[in-house]
């Protein structure tokens, strides 16, 4: 028995889960989300993006918790509201705002365009319906599949350290935290991975969720290929290992859809690598160097002697971003594999969830008997525009700016309006660049209403947080929540932070880190007491769970849904054409006749905009690598577009023409034999004067030989 929590009568949870599923892809004119870099438009596909859903229910199935890890930069309020609406129309009151957690992995190589707040849609060229719909539908579909595949089962928990995979990218902020506090930790990042292993009653493996704090920015901001970055690669390795003989995501049918009907033999293992308090954690472990001179720029401003902050970038551990992604992903995967195999501590106890909507512009925090402080209306500081060593900003902004810059302030005042004195004072010492909380045209620029949420699965409490907590912020929050549980007799809780959940509010630093105004602090939008406010709020949720009083929590003000249909800036798709005497899918540049392992097989086709193929479906496979079987005298797909060994490039030309190039980076150990590369697309064709229709087509390279090494 534990404290006064609900449902103490059973010892085993019924686990359930599953699923893969396919968001979309290859968004061509759509900006990738995360670096806010206007040049970073999607130009193809390296790996697929998935939504991985897990449902845990009690023995009667009446109490449930849904955890979804999605390969996107962050979950937006718009996505969340639309997902909840669809769930309500399908399942009534079963899946609700309090028991559904949506968490982004924080890949910076996913689509943008799925936000309703003005700041985000400006930076991703509008609210892009196809991107938003594919994310919402993909998430709902993953929950549907999980729902239909629930099995009685057991959950085990394990934890361990992942080495050599992170650095703190704002170590000078971290050092602002009290020495007595820092001394309690051996590192300026959290190295611990927490992992849940799920098996059914017969011990058959169902899947895992792990949480580990690292930015998925191994792929840098010069990348144009959609992919799920280092943590996505870890998922891929784990799922490939457990789902032997199936193609990733089961997109096995050329040009086709995910196979329906999961069975024990095929492809149903799901491995989610979810985000945590990664705010100040970079995977680029060689650290920051000036790209022009090669000197270190590991200084409080992350600035280079020549060229300033724009030259200071971190990289490594690999020699290029693809290699770095694989090294970090592999490290994470190997630790997860070890923890998974050894997991023996069973998670038992009641299930519950607590949720509130809170106006984060307006939270009073009781610091002690004499002092009460307040959060602020949202605002971004000057150092926000400096970016980080993982993706530098523009102009001459630097991190650690507490002075502001009269030049930019004047431009801001003329274009967007001056911040009020009240907001300036509230955010001190942050010099305000954008007073987003005071900008409401055509819709508010930043959210006021934010979700706070905890789900408890037996002795595990998952804190769903609406942004990027820094290392020390995360530690303070976990510790406060754990002691809150303790103080109500619910002892020994494992507390994990699930990052980038439900609504995006940028960063959350400690009060001390906030004072030096590096990027993370300038992006702590509700002011210096943001963390204290969250600690107070999450303690409230923990208390409600511990006292079985979650029903009594006030719901708080419901977030608004804006009508942003009028501001989509993405051009619609027009008719396309092929070069003279060619048609769509024809080969322009052929493969060689022969390759060896570690070489790159490459073919270029007359192509069409990949958005055509994604417009109605969340799933479309753009390519296969096929091997010829002498025995059956037929071709078999051995890889698809979800594979990390294949790359799909789209290059747009003039007069509605474009090319598609498919690369296969042939790995060591590839079976010798006869192979070919195939392409599956759709093009837009004009019929009559005003109608444009979408026509499917295919292309194939010639057969080529892979010879023994």
Ligand X SMILES: *[C@@H]1O[C@H](CO)[C@@H](O)[C@H](O)[C@H]1NC(C)=O
Q: Is 282 a catalytic residue?
A: yes
Give the CA-trace dihedral at 701, 702, 703, 708, to 10 degrees.
Answer: -80
Q: Around 55, how many Cα atoms within 13 Å sit in the side-chain half-sphere?
A: 27
Structure tokens at 547: 């006292």
Contacts of 47 by beta carbon, 8 Å cutoff, 6+ apart: 226, 227, 228, 232, 233, 236, 642, 643, 644
The rounded distance, in Å, linking the Cα atoms of 687 and 566 is: 28
Per CB under 6 A, does 694 bind ligand X? yes
Residue 273 beta carbon to ligand X: minimum distance, rounded to whole angstroms: 22
Per CB under 6 A, does 586 bind ligand X? no
Contact 581, 619 (CB under 8 A): no
Q: Give the x/- contact pattern for ligand X in 513-552, rule: CB under 6 A.
A: -----------------------------------x--x-
Give phi and psi for 455, each to the nearest 5.
-115, 135
Active-site option among 268, 282, 302, 352: 282
Interacting residue with ligand X among 453, 613, 643, 701 (CB under 6 A): 613
Stretch binding ligand X (CB under 6 A), from 131-139, 189-197, 356-364, 496-504: 356-364
Give phi and psi for 80, each to the nearest 5.
-60, -45
Beta bridge partners of 636: 627
Interacting residue with ligand X among 305, 442, 489, 557 (CB under 6 A): 557
The rounded distance, in Å, linking the Cα atoms of 525 and 507 is: 7
Q: Which of 358, 360, 356 is nearest to 376 (CA)?
A: 360
Say whether 106 counts as a known binding-site residue: yes
Per CB under 6 A, does 39 bind ligand X? no
Stretch binding ligand X (CB under 6 A), from 135-143, 157-165, 174-182, 563-571: 563-571
Stretch binding ligand X (CB under 6 A), from 154-162, 271-279, 325-333, 369-377: 369-377
The rounded distance, in Å, linking the Cα atoms of 553 and 530 is: 21
Interacting residue with ligand X among 361, 423, 459, 470 (CB under 6 A): 361
The residue sitting closest to ligand X, measured at its beta carbon, is: 653
Per CB under 6 A, does 320 bind ligand X? yes
- 223 alpha carbon, distance to own chain's centre: 16
Interacting residue with ligand X among 330, 345, 659, 700 (CB under 6 A): 659
For ligand X, the closer CB: 47 or 361:
361
Interacting residue with ligand X among 616, 636, 672, 698 (CB under 6 A): 616
Structure tokens at 423: 């907001």
Interacting residue with ligand X among 28, 105, 116, 220 (CB under 6 A): 220
Per CB under 6 A, does 280 bind ligand X? no
Say whether 215 counts as a known binding-site residue: yes
> Where is 476: in which H helix or E strand?
helix 471-487
Total chain residues near ligand X (CB under 6 A): 44
Tell me the DSSP string of 582-596.
Answer: --TT-EEEPPPSEE-
Contacts of 476 by beta carbon, 8 Å cutoff, 6+ apart: 510, 531, 535
**Helix, strand, coil shares, percent, the chain, to 5:** 25, 30, 45
Say whether 382 counts as a known binding-site residue: no
Interacting residue with ligand X among 367, 425, 561, 600 (CB under 6 A): 367
Per CB under 6 A, does 701 bind ligand X? no
Q: Give the x/- contact pattern for ligand X in 395-434, rule: CB under 6 A.
A: -x--------x-x-------------x-------------
For ligand X, the closer CB: 161 or 549:
549
Per CB under 6 A, does 371 bind ligand X? yes
Contact 408, 419 (CB under 8 A): no
Structure tokens at 276: 């945590």
Residue 557 beta carbon to ligand X: minimum distance, rounded to whole angstroms: 5
Q: Give the footprint of ligand X on residues 432-491 (CB under 6 A).
A: 448-449
* CA distance readout (Å), 159 to 106, 335, 371: 22, 9, 38
Residue 656 burial by Cβ neighbours in a 10 Å radius (0-12, 13-18, 19+): middle
Residue 356 beta carbon to ligand X: minimum distance, rounded to whole angstroms: 14
Interacting residue with ligand X among 615, 619, 626, 663 (CB under 6 A): 615
Bind-site residues for Zn(2+): 106, 215, 468, 507
Catalytic residue set:
282
- Residues that bind ligand X in the complex, under the rule CB under 6 A: 4, 6, 8, 220-222, 313, 320-321, 359, 361-362, 367-371, 396, 405, 407, 421, 448-449, 548, 551, 557, 563, 565-566, 588-589, 604, 612-613, 615-616, 630, 651, 653, 658-659, 682, 693-694
Bind-site residues: 106, 215, 468, 507
């Amino acid at each position: 028995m534990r404290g006064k929590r609900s449902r103490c009568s059973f010892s085993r949870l019924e686990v359930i889960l599953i699923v893969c599923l396919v968001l979309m892809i290859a968004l061509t004119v759509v900006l990738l989300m995360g670096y806010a870099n206007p040049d970073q438009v999607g130009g193809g596909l390296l790996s697929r993006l998935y939504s991985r859903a897990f449902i845990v229910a009690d023995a009667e199935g009446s109490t449930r918790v849904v955890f979804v890890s999605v390969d996107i930069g962050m979950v937006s309020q718009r996505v969340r509201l639309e997902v909840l609406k669809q769930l309500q129309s399908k399942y009534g009151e079963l899946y609700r705002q309090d028991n559904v957690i949506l968490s982004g992995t924080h890949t910076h190589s996913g689509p943008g365009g799925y936000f309703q707040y003005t700041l985000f849609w400006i930076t991703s060229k509008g609210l892009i319906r196809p991107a938003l719909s594919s994310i919402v539908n993909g998430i709902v579909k993953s929950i549907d599949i999980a729902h239909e595949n629930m099995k009685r089962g057991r959950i085990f928990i394990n934890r361990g350290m992942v080495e050599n995979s992170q650095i703190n990218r704002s170590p000078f902020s971290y050092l602002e935290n009290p020495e007595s506090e820092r001394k309690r930790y051996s590192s300026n990042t959290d190295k611990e991975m927490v992992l849940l292993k799920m098996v059914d009653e017969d011990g058959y493996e169902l899947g895992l969720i792990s949480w580990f704090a690292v930015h998925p920015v191994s792929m840098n901001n010069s990348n144009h290929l959609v992919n799920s970055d280092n943590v996505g690669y870890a998922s891929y390795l784990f799922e490939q290992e457990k789902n032997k003989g199936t193609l990733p995501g089961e997109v096995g049918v050329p040009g086709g859809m995910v196979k329906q009907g999961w069975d024990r033999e095929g492809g149903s293992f799901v491995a989610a690598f979810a985000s945590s308090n990664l705010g100040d954690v970079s995977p680029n472990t060689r650290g920051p160097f000036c790209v022009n001179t090669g000197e270190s720029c590991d200084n409080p401003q992350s600035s280079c002697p020549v060229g300033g902050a724009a030259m200071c970038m971190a990289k490594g551990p690999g020699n290029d971003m693809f290699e770095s992604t694989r090294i970090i992903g592999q490290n994470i995967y190997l630790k997860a594999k070890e923890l998974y195999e050894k997991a023996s501590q069973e998670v038992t106890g009641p299930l519950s969830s607590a949720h509130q909507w809170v106006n984060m512009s307006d939270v009073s925090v009781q610091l002690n008997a004499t002092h009460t402080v307040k959060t602020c209306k949202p605002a971004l500081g000057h150092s926000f525009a400096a970016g980080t060593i993982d993706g530098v900003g523009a102009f001459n902004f630097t991190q650690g700016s507490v002075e502001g810059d009269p030049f930019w302030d004047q431009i801001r005042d003329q274009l967007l309006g001056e911040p009020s004195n009240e907001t300036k004072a509230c955010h001190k010492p942050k010099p305000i660049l954008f007073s987003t909380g005071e900008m409401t045209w055509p819709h508010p620029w930043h959210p006021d209403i934010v979700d706070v949420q905890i789900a408890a699965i037996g002795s595990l409490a998952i804190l769903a947080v609406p942004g990027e907590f820094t290392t020390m912020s995360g530690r303070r929050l976990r510790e406060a929540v754990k002691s809150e549980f303790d103080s109500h007799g619910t002892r020994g809780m494992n507390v994990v932070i699930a990052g980038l959940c439900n609504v995006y509010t940028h960063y959350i630093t400690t009060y001390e880190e906030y004072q030096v105004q590096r990027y993370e602090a300038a992006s702590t939008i509700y002011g210096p007491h943001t963390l204290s406010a969250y600690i107070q709020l999450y303690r409230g949720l923990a208390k409600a769970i511990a006292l079985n009083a979650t029903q009594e929590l006030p719901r708080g003000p419901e977030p608004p849904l804006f009508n942003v249909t009028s501001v989509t800036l993405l051009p619609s798709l027009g008719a396309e054409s092929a070069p003279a005497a060619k048609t769509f899918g024809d080969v322009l540049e052929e493969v060689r006749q022969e390759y060896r392992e570690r070489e790159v097989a490459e073919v270029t086709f007359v192509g069409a905009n990949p958005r055509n193929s994604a417009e109605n479906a969340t799933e479309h496979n753009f390519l296969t690598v096929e091997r010829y079987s002498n025995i059956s005298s037929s071709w078999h797909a051995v890889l698809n577009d979800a594979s990390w060994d294949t790359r799909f490039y789209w290059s747009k030309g003039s007069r509605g023409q474009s090319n598609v190039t498919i690369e296969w980076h042939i790995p060591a150990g590839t079976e010798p034999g006869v192979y070919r590369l195939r392409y599956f697309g759709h093009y837009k064709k004009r019929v009559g004067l005003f109608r444009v229709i979408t026509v499917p087509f295919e292309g194939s390279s010639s057969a080529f030989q892979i010879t023994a090494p």
